């Protein structure tokens, strides 16, 4: 963990401070491109080949049958069922409120414009092994949006199965087509379609650098598919003041650090005492973690930053510059600073709002922009699963009112046919 007093550094040093570790994507793209081309050309044959190569599994039929799903979910315990039910219910409540019908607008007499919502008919989900919550985060809003076909791909676990909890989550979310496919080959299968996997219009979900590279590449291929948002390693920024409980802050930082060795973990505070106490608390809490989580967190914490500021306003300024995936305001009266937050994926207010709440069960979506993309992207919502189609209806009077403006603008852009399309309908051109 590195402690930095940002009130004493230059603007250039600040720019470097908010930069994420660079990922050499050229090498990753070079490895992924042949996989995409192979699946695009050879379909299921190529998918099976890469499943053998990368996952060491032989998959004859990747589709999970109804009987297979029902058999698997029978063994899920009551406690897990209840947890999934609570999470799914809260996610649905939050996302259903996003369905707002827009009003038609009469821009001038005789000119009426409006938008209507249409679902993206076919969507695909990539769910990393064991991420039950992500199934709900994608499936529930897709169902609310009315998507007609939902395809889910997920790699098999070490036993050669999909965890029953994953399949139960899929059923709760209304996902009927689940495929036992992982890696870049899964992205290719959904983007281009195979003999077994339907082609989709948009692909959602997190993954490793190969999965993300595959998503980026298919998104720029006219024959491929759109994607949800750019994503990289997960990250959290906690803003704390002197009143913050260092145990709470440490727990939040560790919960992020256990995501992976490349996770970004930052504390910004106007209290050096809190920073020092949090560092001690991190060491104490790490001793209680299982070995795997402890090792992962330790690697992530090597790049952790403790930002010391002269004021909370300065800490918020840093947060806006960093644009974190998760932002926790563990301070007195956090509501005072809500309007000042400009760039963040999801914001957690107060000492009893851990990132874990949003990750699992509060209702907000945990598919969020990382790597500073929160400056221009929001997280996944119902809007992610729909498109807005604009409509307009003009009568003769309405067209007469804007005919001259159309003619002038068409002349500027040297589009005489545009001008003529109005001229043949009206005599108001001069």
Domain final residue, candidates 227, 251, 271: 227
**Number of neighbouring beta carbons within 10 Å of residue 369:** 25
Task: Report how far residue 345's alpha carbon sits from residue 237's, in angstroms, rounded to the nearest whole number.
Answer: 11
Task: Report how far residue 14's alpha carbon sits from residue 318's, in angstroms, rounded to the nearest whole number.
Answer: 9
pTM for the complete prediction? 0.93
Nearest alpha-carbon partner for 394 in 34, 114, 18, 126:
114
Do 256 and 325 have their domain in common? yes
Do 126 and 58 have their domain in common? yes
Q: What is the CA radius of gyration of the chain?
A: 25
Do 285 and 220 have their domain in common? no
Domain of residue 329, CATH code: 3.40.50.1980
Do 308 and 188 have their domain in common? no
Nearest alpha-carbon partner for 163 in 73, 252, 293, 97:
73
The packing angle between helices 164-172 and 132-145, to 10°, is 20
Do 345 and 215 have their domain in common? no
- Non-local (6+) Cβ contacts of 404 within 8 A are 428, 429, 430
Task: Report how far residue 246's alpha carbon sits from residue 250's, in angstroms, rounded to the nearest whole number.
Answer: 6
Do 251 and 284 have their domain in common? yes
H helices within 193-352, ranges in order? 209-219, 246-257, 272-286, 291-301, 312-322
Do 260 and 159 have their domain in common? no
Do 109 and 211 have their domain in common? yes
Position 413 in a domain:
no
Which residues have a catalytic role annotated? 325-326
Do 79 and 115 have their domain in common? yes
Nearest alpha-carbon partner for 84 in 381, 382, 360, 364:
360
- Non-local (6+) Cβ contacts of 120 within 8 A are 145, 147, 201, 202, 385, 386, 387
Do 64 and 182 have their domain in common? yes
Query: Tens digit of pLDDT per residue, the chain (430 long)?
Result: 788 898 888 888 888 888 887 777 899 999 999 999 999 999 999 999 999 999 888 888 899 999 999 999 999 999 999 999 999 999 999 999 999 888 999 999 999 999 999 999 999 999 999 999 999 999 999 999 999 999 999 998 877 789 999 999 999 999 999 999 999 999 999 999 999 999 999 999 999 999 999 999 999 999 999 999 988 889 999 999 999 999 999 999 999 999 999 999 999 999 999 999 999 999 999 999 999 999 999 999 999 999 999 999 999 999 999 999 999 999 999 999 999 999 999 999 999 999 999 999 999 999 999 999 999 999 999 999 999 999 999 999 999 999 999 999 999 999 999 999 999 998 755 4
The packing angle between helices 183-192 and 44-55, to 10°, is 170
* Residue 399: both structure tokens together: 């067209």
Q: Range of 311's domain?
A: 232-354
3-class state of residue 310 by DSSP:
coil
**SS3 assignment for 363-392:** CCCCCCCCCCHHHCCCCCCHHHHEEEEEEE
């Amino acid at each position: 963990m590195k402690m930095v007093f940002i009130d004493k550094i230059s603007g250039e040093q600040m720019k470097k401070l908010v930069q994420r570790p660079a990922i050499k994507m050229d090498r990753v793209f070079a490895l992924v491109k042949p996989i995409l081309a192979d699946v695009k050309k050879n379909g299921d044959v190529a998918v099976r080949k890469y499943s053998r190569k990368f996952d060491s599994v032989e998959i004859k039929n990747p589709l999970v049958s109804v009987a297979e799903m029902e058999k698997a979910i029978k063994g899920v315990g009551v406690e897990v069922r209840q947890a999934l039910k609570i999470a799914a219910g809260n996610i649905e409540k939050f996302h259903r409120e996003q369905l707002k019908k827009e009003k038609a607008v009469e821009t001038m007499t005789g000119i009426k414009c409006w938008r209507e919502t249409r679902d993206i008919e076919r969507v695909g989900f990539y769910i990393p092994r064991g991420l039950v919550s992500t199934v709900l985060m994608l499936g529930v809003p897709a169902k609310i949006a009315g998507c007609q076909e939902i395809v889910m791909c997920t790699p098999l676990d070490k036993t050669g199965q999909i965890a029953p909890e994953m399949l139960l989550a899929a059923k709760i979310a209304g996902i009927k087509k689940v495929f036992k496919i992982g890696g870049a080959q899964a992205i290719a299968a959904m983007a281009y379609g195979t003999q077994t996997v339907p082609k989709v219009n948009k692909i959602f979900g997190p993954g490793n650098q190969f999965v993300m590279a595959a998503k980026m590449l298919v998104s720029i291929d006219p024959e491929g598919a759109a994607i949800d948002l750019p994503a990289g390693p997960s990250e959290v920024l906690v803003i704390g003041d002197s009143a913050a409980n260092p145990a709470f802050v440490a727990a939040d930082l560790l919960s992020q650090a256990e995501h992976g060795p490349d996770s970004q973990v930052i504390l910004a505070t106007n209290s050096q005492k809190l920073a020092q106490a949090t560092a001690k608390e991190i060491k104490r809490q790490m001793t209680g973690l299982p070995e795997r989580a402890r090792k992962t967190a330790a690697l992530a914490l090597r790049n952790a930053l403790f930002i010391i500021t002269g004021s909370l306003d300065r800490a918020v300024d840093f947060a806006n510059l960093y644009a974190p995936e998760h932002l926790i305001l563990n301070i007195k009266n956090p509501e005072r600073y809500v309007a000042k937050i400009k760039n963040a994926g999801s914001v957690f207010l107060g000492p009893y709002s851990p990132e874990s709440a949003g990750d699992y069960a509060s209702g907000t979506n945990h598919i969020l922009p990382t790597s500073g993309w929160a400056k221009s992207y929001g997280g996944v919502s119902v809007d992610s699963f729909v498109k807005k189609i604009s409509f307009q209806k003009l009568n003769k009077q309405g067209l007469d009112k804007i005919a001259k403006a159309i003619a002038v603008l068409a002349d500027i852009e040297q589009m005489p046919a545009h001008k003529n399309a109005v001229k043949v309908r009206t005599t108001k051109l001069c």
